[in-house]
Amino acid sequence: MWSGLPQPDQGLRPPLSTVPGPWKGVDPSRGHWQAPGPPAQATVEGEPPGVQAAAATPLDVSRLRSSSMEIREKGAEFLREELRRAQKELKLKDAECERLSRVREQLERELEELTASLFEEAHKMVREANVKQAASEKQLKEARGKIDMLQAEVTALKTLVITSTPASPNHELHPQLQSPTKAGPRKGHSRHKSSSSAMCPAAGHGLPQDKEGREVDSTLFAEFQAWRAAPTLDKACPFLDRVHREDVGPCLDFAMRELSALVRGAVEDNTLTIEPVASHSQPGTRPATECVRTSTCALSGLSRTCRHRIRLGDSESHYCISPSSRARITAVCNFFTYIRYIQQGLVRQDVEPMFWEVTRLRKEMSLAKLGFFPQEA
């Protein structure tokens, strides 16, 4: 029995690795067990092979245990290495995710700013387009108004300016075209011609004499010549001062003094508009031009058939006027239109035809003031 092993009576069970073989009792009466001897003495000649394999088993078990411990340690080390590698990759992925998140947030901010700037630019372009459209429409309206005014002025100029065509020559501009029988004065004007012929040499001024027996007033002609040298619309010059005093003022002197002053100012400023009275004719009725409109004339205060109305400047107020009042206003407007043409250099004539045209327009103002006017169709 080995001295290093605990005894059975001590209550401790021997380890399996130190048991070389099966236990057997030594003293059955005392109940003690005793090992047969150390392993080196366990092999005896003549024992069977199974007894030798049983003796080698504890060594194999210890080797297996040591090998399993090594495998376990290597597996644990491999797993720890894999864990460290996975944690490292996870940290890299977390950093990449964080970087991509920052890039996404930056792109979203830039996209929002770009969208806001695009909308602002679009609204700005729309506002500018609306402003330009309004300005263009205003300019178009003004241009159309100027075109209409120029067309009306051209029409009036064709009517007022003395022209000469091959089909209808002007004998005042081309006296050589007159026949010998018509070269002399008309019947009933021989006395005026002789007297004027006798007076002109004595005067020594060489004033022009009309072929129809009309004689030029020296004072009026001198004033017109002075105005023609430097055309102006200032009423301070002698020529226009006389016309305003003798013709324009009386012609536009209506019963309604306050409105008459406004009309005179609008005529002088060329801001007065005359238009037909608007009427809405129903189907089956007569045209508007055939309808009789009887109302009170705003200038004379008399009950007359008013087919026209006037508007002063940009005002929206309209005033119905009678044919007589319209003729008086039209006569004054024709005079101012002609002298404006002269001032603008549109009349290409000598001084004498211009003077006679001005005299004719002054005559129309006088006749209109006296109540003579052409009847409307």
Tell me, yes or no, if the pTM score tops 0.85. Answer: no
DSSP letter, residue 349: -
* pLDDT higher than 70, residue 196: no
CB 361 within 8 A of CB 333: no
Q: Looking at the predicted structure, is the pLDDT value of residue 29 above 60? A: no
Which tokens in the block code for residue 127? 């506002």
Cα–Cα distance between 62 and 17 in angstroms, integer? 8
| Highest mean pLDDT of the ranges 46-50, 74-78, 274-278 | 74-78
What integer is the mean pLDDT of 12-26?
46
**222: pLDDT strictly greater than 90:** yes
Residue 9: pLDDT over 50 = no
The structure tokens listed for 97 are: 């995710």
Q: Whole-angstrom Cα distance, residue 320 to residue 274? A: 10
Looking at residue 211, what is its pLDDT? Answer: 57
Q: How does residue 30 score in pLDDT terms, banded at 50, 70 and 90?
A: very low
Please say if the pLDDT value at position 61 is more than 50. yes
Q: What are 83-102's pLDDT values in tens digits?
A: 999 999 999 999 999 999 99
Q: Are 337 and 346 in contact (CB under 8 A)?
A: no
pLDDT at 39: 46
Residues 26-35 have a mean pLDDT of 45
d(CA 360, CA 353): 11
Q: Could you give the CA distance from residue 302 to residue 196 in angstroms, rounded to a whole number?
A: 46
The confidence score (pLDDT) of residue 212 equals 62
Q: Which of 59-73, 100-114, 136-150, 161-175 has the highest mean pLDDT?
A: 100-114
Residue 122 CB partners (closer than 8 Å, separation 6+): none
pLDDT over threshold 60, residue 223: yes
